[in-house]
Amino acid sequence: MKKETKTTVDCVVVTYNRLKLLKECLAALENQTYRISNLYVVDNNSTDNTLAYLKGFSKEYKNLKIIHLNKNLGGAGGFNKGIKKFIENSDSDFAWIMDDDTIPNNDALEKLMDKVNSVSNLGFLASNIVWQDGTPAIMNIPTVSSNWNQNITKGLVQIKSASFVSILFPRKVIEKVGLPITDFFIWGDDVEYTLRISQAGYRGYLVNDSIAEHKIAKNIGVDIVNEENSNRIKRYYYSRRNAIFTERNRMSKAQLVKWLVKCCLVEPAKILAKAPNRKMLRIRTTYKGTIAGFFFNPKIETVKGNKANGNKKAQ
């Protein structure tokens, strides 16, 4: 039985050409023990009949809001558009967001919502993300705060950043810090956004018993050295560029120099020694992304709800 409560939650899912996974994700959302008020699905201009499926699905799921983009804006742009629509068109208290390959346990949202009043100054709550065998999903391991165990008896680990794979944001926090950066396109938008929230003085936590599976083929992280698919190598430009932007205003000069040595000397050496193919392309991509990161200054968009929404306070 779904848990009825006054605190309302909308869900934002971003999808691109993964209809089979999207169907599994949507089924998991339908079966949540904590009722979702509105479901926003951002279709990043998919070419696999995703839009047609969503239109059919909306006839049964009346609270589905389809956001079809005429251009693929990447995960970053998709989350930007979905969260913006949530703020502008809904009066729900929280936004729960994820990619289409996120399969949350049926009680994942309920476990998150059980913790929203357990701490003060809440910035975000992240689920415990696992791979198909139950081990931690390497790509989604959060950055732990120095005082990580302050609320450990409540089943909460304090973290500074997390991924957009089953993560809950209060409305008031989004209105305070703005939206994810569309220009990131892919990779690092979640880290930048959750770090931005943490730096604004809010607190983020991993909720130990809120479980979601990140349904990826292999349990690996973002790693240009060992990437096996040569068609994905050029994507690492975004990873490096976005990381440089995120870190350059957060690191001391000494830390930044040390990090640059790693990017420009240590990593290329590892590529030459260990990469399975396209070694020079990997090195060029690393250097290109590093240089671009120092000139990359994307706009951070702000967003406010309408008058009706503005009168409703987030819990």
pLDDT digits (tens, 9 = 90+) for 215-265: 999 999 899 999 989 999 999 999 999 999 998 878 888 988 888 888 889
**Helices 189-199 and 74-89: angle between axes, nearest 10 degrees:** 50
Q: How far apart (Å, rounded) are the C-alpha atoms in residues 89 and 193?
A: 21
Residue-level pLDDT at 306: 66
Residue-level pLDDT at 4: 53
Residue-level pLDDT at 305: 83
Question: Which SS3 state, helix, strand or coil, does residue 198 take?
Answer: helix
β-sheet bridge partners, residue 158: 205
Task: Report pLDDT digits (tens) over 44-84.
Answer: 999 999 999 999 999 999 999 999 999 999 999 999 999 99
Residue-level pLDDT at 251: 84
Tokens of 80: 């930007």
Question: For the chain, where are the E strands, in sequence order?
Answer: 9-15, 38-43, 64-68, 94-99, 102-104, 122-130, 143-144, 156-161, 167-170, 203-214
Average predicted confidence (pLDDT) for the chain: 93
Q: How far apart (Å, rounded) are the C-alpha atoms in residues 201 and 198?
A: 5
Please give the model's pTM, rounded to 2 decimal places: 0.93
Taking residue 185's Cβ as centre, other Cβ atoms within 10 Å add up to 20
- Extract long-range pairs of 272-281: CB within 8 Å, 24+ residues apart: 274/225, 274/226, 275/224, 275/225, 275/226, 275/227, 276/226, 276/228, 277/230, 278/230, 278/233, 281/230, 281/233, 281/234
Is the Cβ–Cβ distance between 86 and 40 less than 8 Å? yes
Count the residues in the chain.
315
Give the CA distances from residue 169 to residues 56, 83, 308, in Å, rounded to whole numbers and listed in that order. 29, 10, 19
Residue-level pLDDT at 312: 45
Task: Report pLDDT digits (tens) over 140-183.
Answer: 999 999 999 999 999 999 999 999 999 999 999 999 999 999 99
Task: Report pLDDT digits (tens) over 126-143.
Answer: 999 999 999 999 999 999
Give the CA distances from residue 177 to residues 11, 170, 174, 296, in Å, rounded to whole numbers and listed in that order. 19, 11, 5, 20
Q: How far apart (Å, rounded) are the C-alpha atoms in residues 23 and 265?
A: 44
Q: Residue 311: is its pLDDT beyond 70?
A: no
Residue-level pLDDT at 174: 98
Task: Report pLDDT digits (tens) over 261-309.
Answer: 888 899 999 999 999 999 999 999 999 999 999 999 999 999 988 644 4
Q: Which residues contact 194 (CB under 8 A, 6 or more apart)?
A: 123, 124, 159, 160, 161, 162, 167, 204
Is the Cβ–Cβ distance between 114 and 108 less than 8 Å? no
- DSSP, res 314: P
Where does the pLDDT of residue 313 fall: very low under 50, low under 70, confident under 90, or very high at 90 and above?
Answer: very low
- The structure tokens 């008896």 sit at 153
